[in-house]
Amino acid sequence: MNNITKIFLVLNSGSSSEKFSLYEGEDEVCSLYFEGIEEGGKKHFICTVSRADGSEEKLDKTWDDLSTAFVDAKGIFEKEGFINEAHPLDGILVRTPAAGKYFSKHNIVDEQTFVELEKVKVTYPLHVPGVLRGIKNAQAAFPGIPVLTMSDSEALTRDSRKDAKYALPKEIVEKYDLGRWGAHGSSYGFIRGRVKELGLEAPKMVVCHLGSGCSVTGFENGEPAYTSMGETPLEGLMSSTRTGSIDPTVGALLGSEMGAADAIKLLNKESGLKALAGSDDMREIIAGAEEGVPEAVEAYNMFVDGVAGKIGEFAAKMGGIDAIVFTATIGERSIPIRGSVISKLEFMGFKIDNDIKVDRSAGYTNIAAEGSKPIYVIATNEANYMIKKAGELLDSLK
């Protein structure tokens, strides 16, 4: 069967939500988003059904935990006519943010997968429970259908990387399987392929993935050389709720006082923009900064400095930059952020033309002013990359 005819269910599991996206080839035909809400002291779930034709429907669920979501999702997809005996699923893809050699590649779930997930529970206590829940519920609801863990670092795990190691004793690195694996790999993998398709490849390019989570990756001759995230997505840039890089002593102190799991939760979920400005929504922070709210101004400036500083760091390491790409929600949509970041990089030959409107239908937009090096806005599509890789993995087993 050709990749474009495969039917994949892409799962994204959160601590209090579950999203199911059904794809036929590279086209999303329907998505279901189960989100827990509390009313009158009682918790229940709302399922938002979104179809390819643009129609949307909200279904109120009486159950109070996510264990029922998978069976319910299967029933909805079957009722809608998207999956049946004539059109069965080819695979279920579980996005898996986790560190280590095993999770630096995509895998078809087997017993080893569960062993490896238990190993990374210490560093990923917020993500692993959702992944485990998703895998087990997928296997129960769709027996016999392959379940695949889709690596969040596979596209960055290359011999071209010059920053993949920590300066730690070799025996410690090997014992705990440590490395600067990076994250947002599906986004970078998609953008890397898209840049080649569009003929935009430059010898030295920096891609800025700026969304609720933020990272920057430097590419040399189309291959990843440097990336900002490390063993976990906590390293690197400050983002919506993450501190970004912080003195390890602070982390050790918080872990000692609060316990490792609570400290990791604080650093990942209660910090960053949320801690500085009281909001994790960049739109609210920009509005507050424009009104002169001190906390919003500080958060905005720290964010911009972080992104521009990381680009500058990679420019120094690569001996210059020929092009910059902005992607993900903030990168694609926020004119103020793009403008503020680039204003700090004019000494490197970059300048934005604020009159250029981003054309989403064109595949990319060069927002650079005349005489500037290219500055591209390219929409990412992480599911597209995962589906392509899942198809390749399943085809390789035939």
Distance CA 363, CA 122 (A): 40
Quote the pLDDT of residue 2.
45
Rounded-to-integer distance, Cα 26 and Cα 51, Å: 15
**27 is a catalytic site residue:** no
> Could you give the CA distance from residue 317 to residue 284 in angstroms, rounded to a whole number?
34
Could you say which architecture CATH assigns to the domain 3-151? Answer: 2-Layer Sandwich (3.30)
Give the Cα separation of 99 and 103 in Å (integer).
Answer: 6
Sequence spans of domains, the chain: 3-151, 185-382
Give the pair of three-digit tokens for residue 197. 């398709």
* b (16+ CB within 10 A) / e for 157-190: beeebebbeeeeeeeeeeeebbbbbbbbbbbbbb
The pLDDT profile of the chain, 398 residues, written as one tens digit per residue, is 344 579 999 998 766 678 899 999 888 999 999 888 877 777 778 899 999 998 999 988 877 777 788 888 999 999 988 998 888 899 999 999 889 999 999 999 999 999 999 999 888 888 898 899 889 999 999 999 999 999 999 999 999 999 999 999 999 999 999 999 999 999 999 999 999 999 999 999 999 999 999 999 999 999 999 999 999 999 999 999 999 999 999 999 999 999 999 999 999 999 999 999 999 999 999 999 999 999 999 999 999 999 999 999 999 999 999 999 999 999 999 999 999 999 999 999 999 998 999 988 888 999 999 999 999 999 999 999 999 999 999 998 87
* Dist CA 176 CA 172 (whole Å): 6
Say whether 185-382 and 3-151 share the same fold.
yes
Residue 137, token pair as written in the block = 């519920």
**Tally of CB atoms within 10 A around 236:** 23
Beta bridge partners of 206: 218, 324
- List of E strands, 97-252: 107-108, 147-151, 204-210, 214-220, 223-227
* Residue 87 to residue 162: CA distance in whole angstroms: 45
Q: One of 152, 159, 280, 353 is an active-site residue; which one?
A: 152
Domain 185-382 grouped into CATH 1.20.1250.20: no
Name the nearest CA neighbour of 293 among 272, 304, 279. Answer: 279
Taking the model in full, what pTM does it have? 0.93
